[in-house]
Structure 1
Amino acid sequence: MTTSRKVVQTVLAVETEEGAGALVRRSIGSAQLRNVTPFLMLDHFHVSKGAGFPDHPHRGQATVTYMLEGSSNHEDSAGHKGTIMTGGVQWMCAGKGIIHAEMPVQGPGIPEPRGLQLWVDLPKQYKMVDPSYQELSPEGVPEAFPEGEDGPVKIRVISGKSHGVESPVRPLGGCWYFHVIFKKPGSIFQEIPEGWTTFLYGWSGKLRVGSEEKPHQPFNTLVLSAASGETGVQLTATEEGTEFVLASAAAEPLDQPVVQYGPFVMTSREEIHKTLIDYQFAKNGFEKAHTWKSEIGGR
């Protein structure tokens, strides 16, 4: 027997400026939706020429960058660098500390980069692990076709599993993350284990959740219920070209405080204070805080 979750909160993501001239639609992490534990922030970004996200630090969370159009270069203080192409994903666990830059690839005939960045809180026991990466090329993201390849829907399995297809990404603390694409109107049921924190965000087309009659408009984040007995979510696209991401924490909501100071996410004010000292004095993960400069961030 399948029982669908319901929408319990709807938040419109309003476009604002962020970083060096980039435009973002932020819902999770805004004043209207501070966090949906363990999800801390969701940005739908558009990076125009001359904009980007130059050198900046992180500690205590994972950042998940998924490119919808164009591509983006990245570089960090641990010596890691590369390019995230359209349809590719980078899952960066910041752990105890890292400094990195994310800058768009620009040029004649190249689409301006657009994508999603999701911040996921790390369980307390993983806050101070060494930084790590899990990356998938566009071809490396597995895809599920619930009604066959000629059916109305394709699910890109960024992490977790959907309709018998599983991603190789293994996030600390766990997280399921899907890009759902309806080529034409249709309906699917996505199983989600009982009690998991779940939201979805769409940017094209219209979508109904569960037994709703009125579809939701683009650029809204929908927080779903997590009641006992709800085995997943019924998703119905009422227009062709409906696209959205669906994310669910692969565990019960983290039973820990969230104390955030900009790009630092810990569980107490004392830990944030210690993080600021570590960054100021370049230690405990921030040894290169005052000496490392990226090649891409200064362009």
Structure 2
Amino acid sequence: MTDPRRILSIQPGQPASDGAGVRLNRVIGGPGLERFDPFLMLDEFSSNDPDDYIAGFPPHPHRGFETITYMLEGRMRHEDHLGNVGLLGSGGVQWMTAARGIIHSEMPEQESGAMRGFQLWLNLPAKDKLGEAGYRDIPAQQIPRLTTSAGVEVVVIAGQFDDGEISQAGAVQRPHTEPQLFDLHLPPGSRIAPRLADGQRVMLYVYEGLLELPEASKQAVSAGHLVRLTDEGQLQLASAQGARVLLIAGTPLREPIVQYGPFVMNSREEIEQALRDFRDGALA
């Protein structure tokens, strides 16, 4: 019998503001929130008040990593200097590979109602940081969904979901970091045991309800908290009252990380070059 993955930490997100004043819950990536290689940042945005999101994210640059935006509710428009235009709607995903450079904006396409979702920053290996930038919109209908025998709904955004009964490839596959990104909807009294490769870093972000990790330590985790787990072992999740959870896993790059705002490279010299390139209009 394989031992369960142990809990390394449980931490709440921290209130933050980004863009032109969008209110966020910064789950990883802020002051005092340790990166969890290959992941650099996770933000949750959730508000029914347009004052919290209406200013959006005007044009800004990125280099050296990927951004994954998953929209639960709302509408956001993407535009970038490469000519890409996309509308991110409820249930959809935007996967952007900044690589050598991209300047983009993300602006709300609504003036009222709920705006709710997540943005995850995923590092790129050193050899790909100055590669070609890319952008992909994935509407909700193109993202696989399945329901397990226990009634758990799984949205398979990236990677390969496998619980021993069902195996399903996600909408996105990426080399090197091999990200696994699943949105799990556990009804009351259900459980699920996703199979994840040993060596992968695993995080769970509970955004609704109460999640139990019965084999890890019988610990209950409430909404708004991130769980970091050890790199090996089984994963068993359960919920007596129901929960919604983002499962995020990936293979660490084990490379130096040097970040300055929207630039993530491997050395200070590369950051200085990114700043010069942006100043000179030669980011991409």
Same structural fold, with TM-score higher than 0.5 when normalized by the shorter chain? yes
Per-residue deviation at 1:202? 1.1
Match of 2:221 among 213, 216, 228: 216
Instruction: Trace 1:242-253 onto structure 2 (pairs within 5 A).
Output: 242-249=243-250, 251=251, 253=252
Q: Counterpart of 1:295?
A: none
Q: Counterpart of 2:190?
A: 186
Instruction: Trace 1:104-143 onto structure 2 (pairs within 5 A).
Output: 104-107=108-111, 111-143=113-145
In structure 1, how many angstroms separate the alpha carbons of the residues matched to 2:46 and 2:185? 20
Matched, 1:170 2:169: no
In structure 1, how many angstroms separate the alpha carbons of the residues matched to 2:237 and 2:2? 13
On the 8 A contact 1:38/1:120 being kept in 2, the answer is yes
Per-residue deviation at 1:205? 0.4
Q: TM (normalized to structure 1)?
A: 0.87
On the 8 A contact 1:190/1:233 being kept in 2, the answer is yes
The alignment partner of 1:200 has SS state of strand
In structure 2, how many angstroms separate the alpha carbons of the residues matched to 1:185 and 1:205? 12
Counting matched residue pairs gives 274
On the 8 A contact 2:77/2:86 being kept in 1, the answer is yes
Per-residue deviation at 1:181? 0.5
Per-residue deviation at 1:284? 4.7
CA RMSD, 1 decimal: 1.5
Per-residue deviation at 1:172? 4.4
> Per the alignment, do residues 273 and 175 of structure 1 end up closer, same or farther by CA in structure 2, a change over 3 Å counting?
same
Per-residue deviation at 1:282? 1.4
In structure 1, how many angstroms separate the alpha carbons of the residues matched to 2:231 and 2:266? 24
On the 8 A contact 1:215/1:238 being kept in 2, the answer is no
Task: Render the CA deviation track for 1:39-90: whole Å, top value 9, x for unaligned.
Answer: 0000001363432111100000000000011121111010001111111001
Aligned-pair identity (%): 35
The alignment partner of 1:32 has SS state of coil
Give the gaps of 5 or more residues in structure 1: 286-299
Q: Counterpart of 1:204?
A: 208
> Per the alignment, do residues 198 and 155 of structure 1 end up closer, same or farther by CA in structure 2, a change over 3 Å counting?
same
Per-residue deviation at 1:210? 4.2
The alignment partner of 1:40 has SS state of strand
Per-residue deviation at 1:170? 2.2
Instruction: Trace 1:6-85 onto structure 2 (pairs within 5 A).
Output: 6-46=6-46, 48-49=50-51, 50-85=54-89
Task: Render the CA deviation track for 1:233-257: whole Å, top value 9, x for unaligned.
Answer: 11111212x10100111x3x11210
On the 8 A contact 1:208/1:214 being kept in 2, the answer is yes
On the 8 A contact 2:187/2:239 being kept in 1, the answer is no
Q: Counterpart of 1:91?
A: 95
Partner amino acid for 1:7? I
Q: TM (normalized to structure 2)?
A: 0.92
Match of 2:147 among 145, 148, 168: 145
Moved over 4 A (4+): none
Higher strand proportion? 2
Q: Counterpart of 1:259?
A: 258
Partner amino acid for 1:265? V
Give the gaps of 5 or more residues in structure 2: none
Partner amino acid for 1:123? P
> Per the alignment, do residues 2 and 105 of structure 1 end up closer, same or farther by CA in structure 2, a change over 3 Å counting?
farther
